[in-house]
Homo-oligomer: A and B are copies of this chain.
Amino acid sequence: MTTHDRAAPEIELGLRDRKKVRVRAALVDAATALFLARGFDAVTVDEIAAAADVSRRTFFRYFPTKEAVVFARRDEQLALFRERLAASGDAAPFDALRGALLALADDYMARRTQILQERALTRAAPTLLAGDLEVDRAFESIIAEHLVAHSRRTAADQRRARMTAAAMVGVVRVALDEWADRDGDVDLARLAQDAIELLTPIVPRFR
Nearest chain B residue, comparing its CB with the CB of A195: B163
Asked whether, in the complex, the Cβ of B160 is within 8 Å of the Cβ of A167, the reply is no
Q: On chain A, which size bracket covers the interface?
A: 20 to 34
Residues of A164-198 at the interface with B, using a CB-CB cut-off of 8 Å, are 165-171, 173-175, 177-178, 195, 198
Residues of A123-167 at the interface with B, using a CB-CB cut-off of 8 Å, are 129-131, 133-134, 136-137, 140, 159-160, 162-163, 165-167
Is A199 located at the chain interface by the 8 A CB criterion?
yes
The distance from the CB of A115 to the nearest CB of chain B, in whole angstroms, is 19
Is A202 located at the chain interface by the 8 A CB criterion?
yes
Asked whether, in the complex, the Cβ of A167 is within 8 Å of the Cβ of B199, the reply is yes
Q: How far apart sit A167 and B177, CA to CA, in the bound complex (Å)?
A: 14
Is A89 located at the chain interface by the 8 A CB criterion?
no
Q: Give the contacting residue for A170; candidates B129, B134, B170, B178; CB below 8 A.
A: B170
Q: How far apart sit A202 and B202, CA to CA, in the bound complex (Å)?
A: 8
Q: How far apart sit A166 and B175, CA to CA, in the bound complex (Å)?
A: 11
Q: Give the contacting residue for A130; candidates B130, B165, B174, B201; CB below 8 A.
A: B130
The distance from the CB of A175 to the nearest CB of chain B, in whole angstroms, is 7
The distance from the CB of A88 to the nearest CB of chain B, in whole angstroms, is 24
- Residues of the B chain whose Cβ atoms lie less than 8 Å from the Cβ of A167: 166-167, 170-171, 199
Asked whether, in the complex, the Cβ of A166 is within 8 Å of the Cβ of B160, the reply is no
- Residues of the B chain whose Cβ atoms lie less than 8 Å from the Cβ of A201: 201-202
The distance from the CB of A135 to the nearest CB of chain B, in whole angstroms, is 10
Q: Give the contacting residue for A173; candidates B160, B166, B175, B198; CB below 8 A.
A: B166
Q: Which of A140, A165, A166, A202 has the most CB of B within 10 A?
A: A166
